[in-house]
């Protein structure tokens, strides 16, 4: 089992047809584009993939498309998180059966568990599969934070190999990097924090903007890995305003899907409760 999960991982959007069904033709093209751009992997069925509104059968088909095109070329990480531990386990086992290289498991949202509850939750999920588990810490969407002490405990689990850190708290991220084993991967969950996080010892990024600019983001990550931080910094600032716009104009993934539709790569379609931007906000991006 390959447990190297460093580099650029694109948080792939889920394209829809005008009737709100999944546009598998566009999905195949998007996955192929990411492979050709030489990203290190894709994350499907995550926040950017509108996973809350994708049903079980559709999820299975999306995984099958990704595996058909990208297996053994780039890593395929599948979002299988839930605030129901047994449901997360079921989804994780299915992702493994369908060929995922790893699973991404988000903080249990809405029910706000205590730290011990989260520790047991993630441990049981990791115990249920034989592929790596990556945690996803995003307090802004889940109302609960995986505290550093809990992350350190979880990092000792042989099947929990890293965390997508989207807390936005650089002090916390530094503590995580400093207190977890060197082979525990800390990936930025925010495009704009990729450069600072990697300069502090982080291992890459799960990126939204690489849906649009995969080669540019790959370059930033590569320059950081090779300690060319001046070159990485120049590239970072060229994209920074755009990175920020993808989050400030509206909730992810509305802006990035709007741009991909403008580029004629997908249709400008969302499933409720997400909704298209008004014309003024479209002009902003």
Determine contact, residues 214/10, Cβ cutoff 8 Å: yes
Domain assignment of residue 20, yes or no: yes
Reported pTM = 0.96
Mean pLDDT of 163-181: 94
Do the domain assignments include residue 2? no
Please, are residues 178 and 204 in contact by the beta-carbon 8 Å criterion?
A: no
Each residue's pLDDT tens digit, 182-224: 999 999 999 999 999 999 999 999 999 999 999 999 999 999 9
Catalytic residue (choose from 75, 91, 164, 218): 164
164 is known as an active-site residue: yes
The Cα-based distances of 73 to 84, 96, 114, 123, 285 in angstroms read 32, 17, 39, 29, 32
CATH number of the domain to which 157 belongs: 3.20.20.70
Residue 136 designated active-site = yes
Separation of CA 54 from chain center: 16
pLDDT for 205 equals 98
| Percent above pLDDT 70 for the chain | 99
**pLDDT > 90: what percent of the chain?**
93
The answer to the question of residue 264 being in a domain is: yes
The per-residue pLDDT for 168 is 86
**CA–CA dist 280, 262 (Å, integer):** 15
Examine residue 167 and state whether it is found in any structural domain, yes or no.
Answer: yes
Instruction: Give residue 2's pLDDT band: very low, low, confident or very high (50, 70, 90).
Output: low
* 109 CB burial (10 A radius; 0-12, 13-18, 19+): middle
Which pair of tokens denotes residue 184?
């525990």
Q: How far apart are the first and last CA of the chain?
A: 41
Domain membership of residue 270 (yes or no) is: yes
Are 163 and 172 in contact by the 8 Å Cβ rule? The answer is no
**What domain range includes position 51?**
7-284
Q: Give the residue among 71, 76, 80 at the shortest CA–CA distance from 52.
A: 80
pLDDT of 1 over the 60 cut: no
Number of compact structural domains in the chain: 1
Q: Which residues are annotated as a binding site?
A: 48, 206
Specify burial of residue 139 (Cβ count, 10 A radius: 0-12, 13-18, 19+).
Answer: middle
Beta carbons of 186 and 162 less than 8 angstroms apart:
yes
Stretch 133-156: mean pLDDT, rounded? 95
Whether residue 1 lies inside any domain: the answer is: no
> So what's the pLDDT on residue 181?
94
Catalytic entry in 75, 91, 136, 257: 136
In a domain, 68, yes or no: yes
Please report, for residues 139, 147, 178, 189, 271, the alpha-carbon distance to residue 152 in angstroms, rounded to integers and kept in the order given.
17, 9, 10, 18, 37
Please write the tens of the pLDDT for every residue from 105-141: 999 999 999 999 999 999 999 999 999 999 999 998 8
Kindly state the helix (H) or strand (E) to which residue 104 belongs, with its residue range. Answer: strand 102-106
- pLDDT score of 37: 98
Beta-carbon-side half-sphere exposure of residue 240 (alpha carbons within 13 Å): 11
Residue numbering of the annotated binding site for pyruvate: 48, 206
The residues facing 11 across adjacent strands are 43
Q: What is the pLDDT of residue 244?
A: 92
| pLDDT for the residue numbered 53 | 97
| Mean pLDDT, all residues of the chain | 96
**C-beta of residue 133 within 8 angstroms of C-beta of residue 117:** no
Q: What is the pLDDT of residue 284?
A: 85
The torsion angles phi and psi of 133, rounded to 5 degrees, stand at -110, 130
Per residue in 35-67, pLDDT (tens digit) is 999 999 999 999 999 999 999 999 999 999 999
The whole-number average pLDDT for the span 152-176 is: 95
């Amino acid at each position: 089992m390959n447990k190297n999960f460093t580099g650029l991982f694109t948080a792939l959007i889920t394209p829809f047809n005008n009737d709100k069904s999944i546009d598998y033709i566009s999905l195949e093209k998007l996955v192929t584009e990411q492979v050709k751009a030489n990203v290190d992997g894709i994350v499907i069925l995550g926040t950017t993939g509108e996973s809350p509104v994708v049903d079980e059968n559709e999820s299975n088909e999306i995984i099958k498309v990704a595996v058909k095109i990208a297996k053994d070329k780039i890593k395929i990480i599948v979002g299988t998180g839930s605030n129901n531990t047994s449901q997360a386990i079921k989804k994780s086992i299915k992702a493994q059966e369908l060929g995922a290289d790893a699973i991404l498991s988000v903080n249990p949202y809405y029910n706000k568990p205590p730290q011990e509850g989260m520790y047991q939750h993630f441990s049981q999920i990791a115990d249920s599969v034989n592929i790596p588990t990556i945690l996803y810490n995003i307090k802004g969407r889940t109302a609960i934070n995986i505290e550093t002490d809990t992350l350190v405990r979880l990092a000792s689990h042989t099947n929990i190999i890293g965390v997508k850190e989207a807390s936005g708290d650089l002090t916390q991220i530094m503590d995580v990097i400093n207190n977890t084993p060197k082979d525990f991967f800390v990936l930025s969950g925010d495009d704009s924090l990729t450069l600072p996080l990697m300069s502090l010892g982080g291992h890459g990024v799960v990126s939204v903007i690489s849906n649009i600019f995969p080669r540019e983001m790959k370059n930033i990550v590569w320059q950081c890995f090779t300690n060319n931080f001046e070159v990485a910094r120049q590239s970072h600032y060229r994209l920074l305003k755009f990175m920020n716009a993808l989050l400030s104009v509206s909730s992810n993934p509305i802006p990035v899907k709007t741009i991909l539709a403008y580029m004629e790569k997908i249709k400008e379609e969302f499933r409720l409760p997400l909704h298209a931007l008004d014309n003024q906000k479209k002009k902003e991006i």
